[in-house]
Amino acid sequence: METTLRGIGVSHGVAIGEVRHMGTAELEPPTRRITGEAVPTELRRARQAVEAVAADLVARGNLAGGEAQAVLEAQAMMARDPELIADVERRIAVGSTAERAVYDALAAYRALLAGAGDYLAGRVADLDDVRNRIVARLLGVPMPGVPNSDRPYVLVARDLAPADTALLDPSLVLGFVTEEGGPTSHSAILARALGVPAVVALRGAVELAEGTVVAVDGSTGAVTVDPDPEQREEMLRLAEERRAALASATGPGATSDGHKVPLLANIGGPADVADAVEAGAEGVGLFRTEFLFLDSRGKAPSEKKQVEAYRQVLEAFPEGRVVVRVLDAGADKPLDFLTPAEEPNPALGVRGLRTLLGHPEVLRAQLRALARAAEGLPVYLEVMAPMVADRADARAFADACREAGLRAKFGVMVEVPSAALRARSVLQEVEFLSLGTNDLAQYTFAADRQVGALARYQDPWQPALLDLVAMAAEAAGAEGKSCGVCGEAASDPLLACVLVGLGVTSLSMGAKAIPYVRAELSRRTMAQCERAASAARASDGGEQARAAAQSVLSGE
């Protein structure tokens, strides 16, 4: 008898197949003391294992490209963290084996972060994966990872590390289900980039028996266990209807009554451009530039290197709109040469624009590089700053853009509630707003976006978050300026209609989501979107808001 479980759908599509669980190894090494003569050997083993794992993560990133590359390079930086390596060496010096020293040092760091409520506690899955890979190498056992199978399957795991998700083979992995994670976790973001149906935050996922047939609906979050033939046929029929709708909706984004909504792509570097163009993106709504700095080996990249990378993207969208976010360093993206070594709460500390204002030479160099990259091109370049809190922040950024001779529109990201609440004031200094709903949800609900236990607060359907979106959009409308959304919320086709109804003027998302959003918008009038938005805001929670909007849009 079938059972339907429900998590959070984070990547569209339907997958039906047998469960295969993520492979794990027994990774806690025995406690064994070594003599002083063995210390040099153990130190060498530890250093070699750390460097080998870090190099493997970088290599996987190079193969995966795009957003995955930045994520995996950040993991490599975790492995090479000088403080962690120093701790490992101290433990070996007093008698621990290399594997035990690595295990204990990383376990202590993990416990410290989790206990302190640090923003980086949300990256424990990434940290655990680094530890497991180093220890596995030292023990000579297989690396944890996706199962070996010559038949397609549905992958089930407590959580998926970026190193595993980035290189999933879509021809074998039909879809995946995780017990932890949220709509903005690395697993979710990379699943959308791969185009693999995925459901996260599904309680009891790891209890699904190996070989059980499940049907995964990445749009609704439903996972049906042992579906009968009729259910399978119905799910496949609905999936085929969705595919047909995608094929029939072409051209620029717009509602059925002609209200234009530009559909843009989020990209992490030049490697993502091809997918964006293929999906019919009308430009780029979020060009993350961190990839250049994460790969710069302890210093800011040269202006020449930046110009080359930026120009590759700008040339791909002639006469299109490209919105570049300047470096967003800090919190979960620390850079040794820029960000403070120790902060009690990095998420609330020196990150984003605050980091750049403390290092004006880095900001000036990036703005100059963007100006040079755009020379002679017909592209509509727009540049925005992350983590802007008020008008003073916006003014400082606009002044820096002008001083660099940048001929572009200047804007800011709205990720902090104060920026939404005072959006009209902020807009006196800049020409557009771009809502980063992932961080805006995190700061609105005081809930780390990477902690699966807090997933309900990361639900972009939460009415309080929709209220802030509406406030920012209304302020932009009153000033005659634009207000887009570039957070993961834009990739939900139903929510995209609500955002348009709230007054959002453009939507930016992973390239794989663009056809779904285009198709859904083309079926709705602007009046329907506005009614759905009102119904969602009048609700008391995320699930109720989604249901209310669905009811309006389906005519119930």
Which residue in the list 12, 21, 401, 486 is annotated as catalytic?
486
Helix axes 124-139, 39-64, angle to 10 degrees: 130
CA–CA gap between residue 537 and residue 251 (Å, rounded):
30
Least Cα distance to 69 among 268, 360, 236, 226 occurs for 268
551: which DSSP letter? H
The CA distances from residue 94 to 36, 39, 179, 397, 540, in Å, are 8, 9, 39, 51, 57
The CA distances from residue 233 to 214, 237, 238, 302, 430, in Å, are 13, 6, 9, 56, 52
Which residue in the list 12, 21, 186, 401 is annotated as catalytic?
186
Q: Compute CA 449 distance to the chain's CA centroid, rounded to the nearest angstrom.
A: 10
Q: Which two tokens stand for residue 119?
A: 């923003």
CA–CA gap between residue 433 and residue 410 (Å, rounded):
9
The β-bridge partners of 11 are: 198
Least Cα distance to 325 among 257, 403, 249, 264 occurs for 264
Q: Is 259 a catalytic residue?
A: no
Beta-strand relationship, 409-414 and 432-435: parallel
Q: What are phi and psi of 430, to 5 degrees?
A: -130, 175
Helix axes 98-116, 82-93, angle to 10 degrees: 130
Cβ count near 538 (within 10 Å): 11
Q: Is 483 a catalytic residue?
A: no
330: which DSSP letter? B
Residues carrying an active site annotation: 186, 486
